[in-house]
């Protein structure tokens, strides 16, 4: 009986801890996943998978390394596994425009002109990032969105820092090209 | 510079300016649109709990599988154990059959004349052979010899007496004297040596026959086995 009670208490503590972690790092992880998979619903599914993995590995996690870096790495690997899977290759994303409609409803009360302009630019930038090749997109996500250094990005993606720099340069050029094309339209 | 101007003049931006522009726009875009709500947190916690339950189930199943594996490991020794048991059974059965068929006369228990099983070799003993319903009483060899000697001497004496009567030719005298008739005496004369012979033969010859009986049985069984394997017709 005592063992069961202790086990229950331990589980409750673990659940509380994971809830705290989700509230602290959840937003950033969800956005990161969205940047990878371009679909909010899929990103939410992967979000759950990511934090299940975090919960599983929490007892083995060494607190000497940064927990945010560790969770980000798990999220990136989860997203990459999803993109590699055969299921993802067959399913086409349909909810891209649904997200736009949600945004429209939320911003209903803001000034119409500002909203339209800002939305258009942000949409263009986000779409341009999502349009990038996988290897460029992950470098942009880490450096621009997660604001990681080149070394941290190299460590996170398990590639040399020189490769990160070269990929960043090519990604920048590609982004410029895409945005110029969109600005001209 | 307005937002539209920024977008139009991207090609003229430096790398640092471009980096700052992308960072701010990308972040603000994602921060406004994509947020973790309470529903997602609840779903994630539920997913974690269900996963825990699944893991526990798998863990329990693995435990039971380990126990099952132990049983299987034990089962691996069952053929060896059964083989050993069979070998023991064959040895025991073989020894029993051998003792039943091949036991010798010396193996029989000596029984004293009063029926006590703790008799010695010098006491009389009873032999129960298959086919004999009643035990035959035997005497020790020394007593038997004495008896044979005495009976032989008596017979010789009787024959001498009968000869005397015959020589005298006076049968009536003999009858008067209480002597047995000639026929009876002749019968006795004729039979007694035979009886003596049978008495002479009985203890030793029976021993020999009993010794030979199991050997004959064994030979008979061996012959039957050989004949069953190699029928005579074939030979």
B60: Cα separation from own chain's centroid: 44
Q: Pick from A15, A122, A172: which is nearest to B25 by CB? A: A122
Q: Which residue has the higher pLDDT, B39 or B134?
A: B39
| B34–A117 CB contact, under 8 Å | no
Q: Write out residues 58-97 of A within 8 Å (CB-CB) of B.
A: none
CATH 1.20.120.1200 fits A1-92, yes or no: no
pLDDT of residue B137: 56
Mean pLDDT score, A134-162: 88
State the DSSP code for B132: -
Q: Determine the Cα–Cα distance for residues B72 and B1; give it in Å rounded to an integer.
A: 79
Give the domain-ending residue among B46, B75, B104.
B75
Domain count, chain B: 2
**Domain coordinates of chain A in residue numbers?**
1-92, 95-185
The chain B residue lying nearest A148, using CA atoms, is B23
Whether residue B227 is contained in a domain is answered as yes
Residues 6+ apart with CB under 8 A from A79: A32, A33, A36, A37, A46
Angle, nearest 10°, between helix axes B15-33 and A96-106? 80
pLDDT of residue B6: 61
Q: Answer yes or no: do B145 and B223 share one domain.
A: yes
CATH 1.10.10.10 fits A95-185, yes or no: yes
Whether residue B95 is contained in a domain is answered as no
Q: Which residue has the higher pLDDT, A146 or B145?
A: A146
Both tokens of residue B190?
A: 């004729």
CB pairs A-B closer than 8 Å? 116
Q: How far is B61 from chain A (nearest CA, A)?
A: 19
The interface predicted TM-score of the complex, written ipTM, equals 0.70
Where in the sequence is the domain holding B11, given as residue range(s)?
3-29+38-75
Whether residue B220 is contained in a domain is answered as yes
pLDDT of residue A185: 47
State the DSSP code for A177: H
Residues 6+ apart with CB under 8 A from A56: B51
Q: What is the mean pLDDT of chain B?
A: 66
Asked whether the predicted pLDDT for residue B203 surpasses 70, the reply is no
pLDDT of residue B84: 92
């Amino acid at each position: 009986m005592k063992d069961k009670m202790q086990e229950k208490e331990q589980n409750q503590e673990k659940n509380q801890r994971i809830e705290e972690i989700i509230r602290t790092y959840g937003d950033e992880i969800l956005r990161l996943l969205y940047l990878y998979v371009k679909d909010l619903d899929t990103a939410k599914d992967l979000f759950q998978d990511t934090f299940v993995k975090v919960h599983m590995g929490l007892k083995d996690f060494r607190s000497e390394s940064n927990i945010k870096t560790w969770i980000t790495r798990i999220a990136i690997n989860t997203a990459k596994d999803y993109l590699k899977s055969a299921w993802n290759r067959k399913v086409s994303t349909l909810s891209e425009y649904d997200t736009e409609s949600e945004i429209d409803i939320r911003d209903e009360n803001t000034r119409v002109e500002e909203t339209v302009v800002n939305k258009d630019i942000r949409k263009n930038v986000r779409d341009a990032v999502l349009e990038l090749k996988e290897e460029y997109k992950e470098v942009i996500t880490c450096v621009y969105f997660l604001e990681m250094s080149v070394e941290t990005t190299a460590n996170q993606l398990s590639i040399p820092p020189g490769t990160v720099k070269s990929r960043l340069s090519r990604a920048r050029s590609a982004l410029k090209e895409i945005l110029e094309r969109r600005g001209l339209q | 510079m307005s937002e539209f101007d920024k977008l139009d003049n991207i090609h003229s931006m430096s790398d640092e300016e471009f980096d700052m522009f992308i960072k701010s726009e990308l972040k603000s875009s994602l921060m406004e649109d994509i947020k973790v709500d309470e529903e997602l947190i609840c779903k994630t916690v539920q997913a974690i709990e269900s996963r825990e339950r699944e893991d526990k189930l798998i863990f329990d199943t693995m435990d039971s599988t380990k126990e099952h594996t132990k049983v299987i490991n034990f089962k691996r020794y069952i053929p060896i154990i059964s083989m050993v048991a069979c070998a023991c059974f064959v040895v025991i059965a073989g020894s029993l059959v051998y003792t039943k068929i091949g036991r010798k006369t010396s193996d029989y228990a000596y029984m004293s004349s009063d029926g006590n099983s703790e008799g010695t070799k010098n006491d009389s003993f009873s032999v129960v052979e298959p086919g004999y319903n009643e035990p035959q009483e035997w005497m020790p060899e020394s007593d038997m010899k004495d008896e044979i000697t005495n009976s032989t001497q008596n017979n010789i004496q009787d024959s001498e007496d009968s000869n005397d009567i015959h020589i005298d030719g006076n049968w009536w005298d003999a009858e008067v004297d209480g002597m047995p008739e000639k026929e009876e005496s002749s019968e006795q004369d004729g039979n007694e040596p035979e009886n003596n012979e049978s008495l002479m033969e009985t203890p030793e010859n029976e021993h020999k026959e009993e010794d030979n009986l199991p050997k004959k049985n064994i030979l008979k069984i061996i012959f039957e086995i050989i004949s069953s394997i190699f029928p005579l017709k074939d030979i």
